[in-house]
Structure 1
């Protein structure tokens, strides 16, 4: 049994995380001693706008991101699966870390209701430890909307454009957060009555964002 850790009030977390994804917030996750995302063999997308990160990371550690325009890089990991900028048990460029790291919040997986089977044990344990607060009806409505978005996207992958729906659970969770407002006040039955319209609205909402980078 994982010891429960407060994830905050659901509505407050959702608003802050949404703002972070829009580039309007720095991202604030109560990680404590958890360093799972830094030690889990993850490639980190570094964008052209991550100027401080580019200046802080040795050039030989970055390589051009396949399929993306010049200026988009990937930062790999060492033989242990650790980010090369993870030193002395902490991020050595924390104040200059790339947007991808600022936006990573495993509470999105906790909010999604998905069964986690594609993350490391450390991240999975952390996800299972999060406990949101639901002090208002609005908190519950928002939580239901996120879970409904996850279920809709997962069950209807075939009606979206090829490659639109991410493969990883964490990316699906982030996509659901981005489009959750579409599902507020709905049930799966009401959504199934107009599946194509909901799918089209999701595509429009996400058209300007590469969700696979989340």
Structure 2
């Protein structure tokens, strides 16, 4: 198993502040911006399990694999997650055993972790509801991952199905699901998302003043906003 991040430089990437305007944006607005920039990032099949509380933070990644003859650990990594980070767990999409439960939820809440996103399933969802802790996954199932899976790598690249996630990438989640913004493109994505949001607000205002939706969309170039840039 690879060890957790140890250098202050690496940890600072995960703890780096996120531009404040990201908190104003929905996953739909960010997804449109990703499309415009030809960037993958909309994680199919992963949604809120316990609460629709928005999730926003940089990725702290953990990849799991099947157990060896002498099983390894499953959840001890939580002690090294920086406050404000989003725990991203890649269990290969498995739905037959969990990698997150009630104890981890309480510890994460006490450590001010921003939330958890799982390519797989979770359990003890009542604990997440009680703590109002953002928990996103492919579903829920009660059977433990202990002695079935173990941590293979911490803070390497992982998968949320069809989306690759690297440590320090920005994750945003709401009632519509999860989007991932690559760390090196966050300013570009933010600029496009804000432009799209402003155009949509202008369209709504024009319609309220009596314009047809078709005319309002033409006026504000709506049909070109989500198209890929050449």
Short-chain TM bin: under 0.3
Higher strand share: 2
Of structures 1 and 2, the one with the larger relative CO (CA 8 A, separation 6+) is: 2
Q: Give the number of the structure whose residues are more often helix, by fraction.
A: 1
Scaled by the length of structure 1, the TM-score of the pair is: 0.27
TM-score of the two chains, using structure 2 as the length reference: 0.25
When Rg is computed on C-alpha atoms for both structures, the one with the higher figure is: 2
